[in-house]
Structure 1
Amino acid sequence: MLKKPRGTEDIFGKKAQDFFALEMIIRNVMELYNINEVRTPIFESYDLFSRSAGESSDIVNKEMFVFQDRKNRSLALRPENTAGVVRSVIENKLYLEENLPLKQFYFGPMFRYERPQAGRQRQFTQFGVEIFGGKSPSLDAELITSGIEILSNIGLQDFSVKINYLISGENKSKYIKVLKDSLAKMKLCEDCLNRIEKNTLRVLDCKVDQEKFDNIPSMSDFLSPEDDQYFKEYLSILKRMDFSLEIDAKLVRGLDYYTGIVFEIVSNDERQGSQSTLLAGGRYDNLVEELGGPQISGAGFALGIERILIALENAEISISQPTELDVYCIPLSKQAELFTSSLLFMLRKAGLKSDTSFVNRSLKSNFKKAESLKSKNILLIGDKELKENYVIIKNQTTMKEEKVKFEKILNFLIEEL
């Protein structure tokens, strides 16, 4: 028997309904914030991700699905979508002044070759926001508040907001020297030892040695006066919004392109385990230029849909309603079955959710099917009813049955509902 590839899943039934409901909630928030959708290819040039994520990142080194096309061009299934959105902005010249600030969101599948576990599949669905131009503390605050708004609108409340400010330039060099001295005194894993020379800040993202970094030098002590002022203004905006904030000196994110403000929103529910990060992102002011575009600032965040659904399940929050039919039709003869097709067309055109069996079931089985579909009404029709121009409609709430003439079916059902 053919089976789905490891690290993928079939989504159907209640989970498919939850996916749709979550997407609709997200889209409503995006409309409130005037953030428009962008759709980019599922696969891109391998170079796009290696240049953006960084050769030293786990995504490039371990996790990308890379393949050659028929002309031996190296392509990759997208492991994240910031790089694809930036490529689109450059290629389509969306960075023109009249478009700024350019606020976009995306929604779709991403691919990473990881060890599959709950909330972390090799194909997963990601939503994200990217904002270009107009660098300011207030715009950064709008970015994170749109994410918090999404979590709040789906009912999640028990989370913490972690924030850090990644230094750059000469101050970054000074900090890295001090950080290396501190790390040299620790016994670290092999990945950390490799990262110390390639990208020292990435060491702090290690999940194996995380507890060893509690007393490392703080980046905030090395900020330039300008960066320090920017960070303070950003924090003051968020504090006025009554968010629970934590400055985390170890927060660096897993991709090389981040500069300045970075953040994570983390669930406080212990049942989330290692999948506690609900949403994460930050500022990347050099990425557009590094990928061949003009010097223009950018910032964004992303969240994994599957992980959010796990958080909702843990919190016992339901965001989708079970499907309920208005009418379930039961034809009692072959001729009645043929008539039912046109009847269904009429009911659906009037906006009534309706269905029939389409398979040969007994009357008893049809009633059970109607009950499983939570149909509010059951409509029965056989040869006698066809001949005498009426149907029998049973209200499943009152259990009352009535004979209804063909021409009055719609009015009757609309009044009942």
Structure 2
Amino acid sequence: MSTFKAPKGTYDLTPPDSATFLAVREALAAPLRIAGYGYIETPGFENVELFARGVGESTDIVTKEMYTLTTKGGDELALRPEGTASVLRATLEAGLHKAGNLPVKLWYSGSYYRYERPQKGRYRHFSQIGAEAIGTEDPALDAELILLADQAYRSLGLRDFRILLNSLGDSECRPAYRTALQDFLRGLDLDEETRRRIDINPLRVLDDKRPDVQKQLVDAPLLRDHLCDACRAYHAEVRALLTAQGVAFEDDAKLVRGLDYYTRTTFEFVHDGLGSQSAVGGGGRYDGLSEMIGGPALPSVGWALGVDRTVLALEAEGVTLDIPPATSVYAVPLGEQARTVLFGVVAELRRAGVATDLAYGGRSVKAAMKGAHRSGARFTLVAGERDLAEGVVQLKDMESGAQEPVALAAVTDTLRSRLG
């Protein structure tokens, strides 16, 4: 056994479970590809200041959860705790917003890191699929992204998730609400750290999950009652577009999520089968983030969906994905000559797109056939010296047990036909 183990709060993806994660990633990304979103990949670490400015210096992510490091050259870096700031930074650096085709529509997949107390559904290393529509203010974009996530979850067979929806207003209407909320919060019995948040970002207090805090927030002023006419109309159109497409949602007036950059539309996908860590994904509009990190005005909207959380949601609903076996054909050579010949047959089948494996290591027929069963192969190819002398291999159907000789020259065509 190895001396080393995976760091606390992390996990390894190993077969066969890793096949489920790959299938979930593919399903979450599939709707984006056909909606005009191009793939982007950014570094696993960025300048600390990018997240401090964008995510917010008052957030738990920046103050408590970021993994930071100082390079030998003195640069202050952080492992990325979320994807939006990195994607927007890359968009600005590459000048994608200058190509004249707004919005810039991007999707990404990767690992993210937050130092927090590990528990089921919450890890220090986690995987997400994300999507961003950068450079356009349009309620149809907000609705599109929510619709695409809804389609992705349903394509996996998930049914018991809910969409929570809210508007956080903008620079016109949020200041008055901020003042009203601060006045309310200052009259509550809160600990010192929470009181500091009242002055820095009072909306963050609404996101506090502690029952004793939530109990005091029952009568807190709501942002929806302070929205300006423009924000109210914008939110109404998002709701109308979703309703027209049959997407069910729940209005949640206290939904603020954990990042400072959100404006107007904010949403969250939750699954009640996951207990306290019920969020499986979420996002919203972030019209001012570009300016926060030194770019031009680029109103944008996006989301991130947790791959780990989605897998847990599937387990909670008892949904098993139909994942084809990694191997369709398994070749079993009987002797050195057969090993050489079947090695060539395996290579030819792979070139033809047939998932094929070979019994390596000179195992006995019995051990090799056990390997064939474990691989999940639909067919096996068995060949010995007599078979080769006749120019054939034995093709065995692993479901029916039927076996028949097939000419070596016809193996690829025969298997492609039978595998469809």
What is the TM-score with the length of structure 2 in the denominator? Answer: 0.93
C-alpha distance in 2 between matches for 1:350 and 1:228: 57
User: Could you say what secondary structure the match of 2:90 adopts?
Assistant: helix
C-alpha distance in 2 between matches for 1:394 and 1:100: 56
Partner of residue 104 from structure 2, selected from 96, 102, 105: 102
When structure 1 is superposed on structure 2, of 192-201 and 349-358 the one drifting more is 349-358
Q: Once the 2 structures are TM-superposed, how far is the Cα of residue 170 of structure 1 from its aligned partner?
A: 5.7
Q: Once the 2 structures are TM-superposed, how far is the Cα of residue 416 of structure 1 from its aligned partner?
A: 4.2
Q: Find out whether 1:317 has 2:319 as its counterpart.
A: yes
Partner of residue 258 from structure 2, selected from 254, 268, 277: 254
Q: Once the 2 structures are TM-superposed, how far is the Cα of residue 318 of structure 1 from its aligned partner?
A: 2.4
> Residues 276, 395 of structure 1: CA spacing in aligned structure 2 closer, same or farther, 3 A cutoff?
same
CA contact (8 A) 1:137 1:234 kept: yes
CA contact (8 A) 2:186 2:195 kept: no
> Residues 200, 356 of structure 1: CA spacing in aligned structure 2 closer, same or farther, 3 A cutoff?
same
4+ aligned runs moved over 4 Å, structure 1: none
| Aligned twin of 1:204 | 206
Aligned pair count?
415
Letter in 2 for 1:220: R
Query: Where do 5+ consecutive residues of structure 1 fail to align?
Result: none
C-alpha distance in 1 between matches for 2:93 and 2:307: 28
Q: Once the 2 structures are TM-superposed, how far is the Cα of residue 19 of structure 1 from its aligned partner?
A: 1.9
When structure 1 is superposed on structure 2, of 55-64 and 115-124 the one drifting more is 115-124
| Aligned twin of 2:150 | 148
C-alpha distance in 2 between matches for 1:279 and 1:161: 10
C-alpha distance in 2 between matches for 1:130 and 1:412: 46
Q: Find out whether 1:243 has 2:240 as its counterpart.
A: no
| Aligned twin of 1:277 | 279
CA RMSD of aligned residues (A): 1.9
Q: Once the 2 structures are TM-superposed, how far is the Cα of residue 190 of structure 1 from its aligned partner?
A: 4.1
When structure 1 is superposed on structure 2, of 19-28 and 44-53 the one drifting more is 19-28
Letter in 2 for 1:128: G
C-alpha distance in 2 between matches for 1:411 and 1:102: 45
C-alpha distance in 2 between matches for 1:383 and 1:261: 70
| Aligned twin of 1:114 | 116
CA contact (8 A) 1:17 1:320 kept: no
> Residues 68, 356 of structure 1: CA spacing in aligned structure 2 closer, same or farther, 3 A cutoff?
same
Counterparts in 2 of 1:12-161, with a 5 A limit? Answer: 12-96=14-98, 98-161=100-163
Counterparts in 2 of 1:324-403, with a 5 A limit? Answer: 325-403=327-405
C-alpha distance in 2 between matches for 1:63 and 1:336: 57
CA contact (8 A) 2:172 2:228 kept: no
| Aligned twin of 1:213 | 217
C-alpha distance in 1 between matches for 2:155 and 2:364: 45
C-alpha distance in 2 between matches for 1:97 and 1:334: 60
Aligned residues with identical type, % of pairs: 38
| Aligned twin of 2:410 | 408
CA contact (8 A) 1:107 1:125 kept: yes
Q: Once the 2 structures are TM-superposed, how far is the Cα of residue 63 of structure 1 from its aligned partner?
A: 0.7
Q: Once the 2 structures are TM-superposed, how far is the Cα of residue 322 of structure 1 from its aligned partner?
A: 4.0
Counterparts in 2 of 1:221-240, with a 5 A limit? Answer: 221-240=225-244
Q: Once the 2 structures are TM-superposed, how far is the Cα of residue 134 of structure 1 from its aligned partner?
A: 2.2
CA contact (8 A) 1:14 1:322 kept: no
C-alpha distance in 2 between matches for 1:355 and 1:90: 46
Q: Once the 2 structures are TM-superposed, how far is the Cα of residue 356 of structure 1 from its aligned partner?
A: 1.8
C-alpha distance in 2 between matches for 1:244 and 1:394: 50
When structure 1 is superposed on structure 2, of 402-411 and 331-340 the one drifting more is 402-411
> Residues 99, 411 of structure 1: CA spacing in aligned structure 2 closer, same or farther, 3 A cutoff?
closer
Q: Once the 2 structures are TM-superposed, how far is the Cα of residue 210 of structure 1 from its aligned partner?
A: 2.6
